[in-house]
């Protein structure tokens, strides 16, 4: 059982449900070390839209007890949706090192939505730092059907890498060949 419960990672809850025709830009906020959750609390208080993917990590303590923590999938990153005033308020929190504008907004939102869907389904995700080139695939069966990513080999295991290209980070999960088909 975690010491603290999971916090808000998506604000508002309808952030990815809203119409894609909305012209509000996205920003990638690079935070100071271990400031992601604090930034999210500040953003929620001021009413700014944000997404910070959080996953549950389970581990055993020295005494053998099973514990869990809720950690950001991408350390030091929070994704903000808002105009220059929202970016300014985020920078004024003291949690942000820099704010990066996103070039291809449509692709960026699709990648974030895909990650959010995987986390919502409880997929066992592993954070991945630098992305490796590989075969682009789509999951064809099961609860992850339609998810697109790249195949990786890690420690002899085949994994599907779902990425956010703008920050060169992603998350991976194990899948069998029978579940995948080549993406066009």
Query: At 13, which CATH number?
Result: 3.30.70
Task: Look at residue 132 and tell me whether its pLDDT is greater than 60.
Answer: no
Question: Can you give the pTM of this predicted structure?
Answer: 0.80
What residue numbers bound the domain in which 25 lies? 1-102
Query: Tens of pLDDT along 33-53?
Result: 999 999 999 999 999 999 999
For residue 117, is it within any domain?
no
For residue 50, is it within any domain?
yes
Final residue of a structural domain among 102, 133, 155 = 102
CATH number, domain containing residue 130: 2.30.30
> What pLDDT, on the 0 to 100 scale, is given for residue 179?
75
Q: Are residues 53 and 13 in the same domain?
A: yes
Q: Domain count for the chain, please give it.
A: 2
Final residue of a structural domain among 102, 134, 152 = 102
Nearest to 73, CA basis, from 155, 142, 129: 129
Q: Are residues 27 and 72 in the same domain?
A: yes
Cis peptide before 5 (omega within 30 of 0): no
For residue 111, is it within any domain?
no
Report residue 60's pLDDT band, with 50, 70 and 90 as the boundaries: confident
For residue 120, is it within any domain?
no
Dist. CA 171–CA 159, nearest whole Å: 10
Report residue 167's pLDDT band, with 50, 70 and 90 as the boundaries: very high
For range 83-108, the mean pLDDT:
96
Final residue of a structural domain among 70, 102, 134 = 102
- Phi first, then psi: what are they for 44, rounded to 5°? -65, -40
Report residue 81's pLDDT band, with 50, 70 and 90 as the boundaries: very high
For residue 136, is it within any domain?
yes
**What pairs with residue 78 in β-bridges?**
29
Q: Are residues 14 and 48 in the same domain?
A: yes
Task: Look at residue 80 and tell me whether its pLDDT is greater than 70.
Answer: yes
Dist. CA 163–CA 34, nearest whole Å: 22
Which of 23-32, 66-75, 124-133 has the weakest average pLDDT? 124-133
Q: Are residues 178 and 90 in the same domain?
A: no
More confident residue, 134 or 112: 112
For residue 108, is it within any domain?
no
> What pLDDT, on the 0 to 100 scale, is given for residue 130?
60
Q: Are residues 95 and 148 in the same domain?
A: no
For the chain, give the mean pLDDT.
88
Dist. CA 168–CA 162, nearest whole Å: 11
Structure tokens at 1: 């059982």
For residue 166, is it within any domain?
yes
Helix, strand, coil share of the chain (percent; to 5): 20, 35, 40
For range 128-141, the mean pLDDT:
72
């Amino acid at each position: 059982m975690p010491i603290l419960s999971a916090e808000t990672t998506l604000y508002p809850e309808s952030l990815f449900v809203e119409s894609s025709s909305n012209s509000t830009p996205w920003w990638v906020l690079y935070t100071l070390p271990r400031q992601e959750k604090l930034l999210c609390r500040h953003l929620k208080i001021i009413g700014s839209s944000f997404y910070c993917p959080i996953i549950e990590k389970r581990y055993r303590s020295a005494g053998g007890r099973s514990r869990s923590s809720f950690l950001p999938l991408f350390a030091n990153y929070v994704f903000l949706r808002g105009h220059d005033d929202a970016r300014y308020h985020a920078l004024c929190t003291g949690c942000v090192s820099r704010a990066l504008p996103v070039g291809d907004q449509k692709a960026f939102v699709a990648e974030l939505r895909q990650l959010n869907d995987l986390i919502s389904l409880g997929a066992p995700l592993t954070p991945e730092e630098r992305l490796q080139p590989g075969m682009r695939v789509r999951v064809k069966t099961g609860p992850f059907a339609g998810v697109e990513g790249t195949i990786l080999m890690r420690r002899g295991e085949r994994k599907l890498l779902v990425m956010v290209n703008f920050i060169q980070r992603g998350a991976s999960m194990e899948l069998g060949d029978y579940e995948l088909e080549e993406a066009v």
